[in-house]
Amino acid sequence: MSQILREIILPPHRQFQLAQGDLTTEPIDAIVNAANRHLQHGGGLAGAIVRRGGSSIQAESDNWVRQHGLVAHDAPAYTGAGKLPCKVVIHAVGPMWGEGDEDRKLAEAVTGSLRLADQLELTSIALPAISTGIFGFPKERAAVIILSAIEAYFPQNLESKLSPVRITLYDQPTLEVFQQAWDKKFPSFVSK
């Protein structure tokens, strides 16, 4: 179970949380996988999701790519969750640092994940620090973009049922960067 370290209420009544924990153990409707365009889940978070959730996640991902083609930044894929405690895994493709237009692509990956969760009529979601691992996106920059994309989503999607929306981070260095970004963005809501 993750530990909630920061929480605010986004209008009208949505819990937005920052937590430290293992995304693969979140008992929530959807977790977001930081995926590649081919949905080959070999290493990092993607590899951990398949190891914990089982081979059905990779099999469904392979089938998704055969049916729909490569996954775009703004249109994540989704699969079942196998043995994970969540219902669905949303596979969001963030940008690789240096490919160009990275800020927009990262914001699209976050917004696309929230939009897909709403289309699937889910009520809770947990996201990682998309693109900050092997894709090399600078953590400080990603934290600001991810927090801003989540905050901006709900005023434009008032019918959304997503609550809580949680950023779940495993490693301490990434968590510290996101806590600092959170405290700057939401200074009145520093801690839970």
Report, as an integer, the average pLDDT of 90-117: 97
Tokens, residue 27: 């008992």
Q: Is residue 101 part of a domain?
A: yes
Q: Is the residue at 139 inside a domain?
A: yes
The band of 192, judged by pLDDT with boundaries at 50, 70 and 90, is very low
- Give the number of other CB atoms < 10 A from CB of residue 192: 12
Q: What range does the domain containing 29 cover?
A: 3-177
User: Any idea which residue has 């290493």 for tokens?
Assistant: 43
pLDDT for the residue numbered 170: 95
| Position 184 in a domain | no
pLDDT value of residue 12: 82
CA 39, CA 59: separation in Å to the nearest integer? 10
Closest among 24, 19, 1, 31 to 122, alpha carbons compared: 31
Task: Please give the tally of structural domains in the chain.
Answer: 1
Q: What is the pLDDT of residues 34-46, one digit of tens each?
A: 999 999 998 889 9
The pTM for the full model equals 0.95
Listing DSSP states for the chain in one string gives --EEEEEEEETTTEEEEEEES-GGG--SSEEEEEE-TT----SHHHHHHHHHH-HHHHHHHHHHHHHH-SPBTTB-EEEE-TTSSSSEEEEEEPPPTTSS-HHHHHHHHHHHHHHHHHHTT-S-EEE--TTSSTT---HHHHHHHHHHHHHHHGGG-TT-----EEEEE-SHHHHHHHHHHHHHH-GGG---
Domain for residue 182, yes or no?
Answer: no
The enclosing domain of 24 has a CATH number of 3.40.220.10
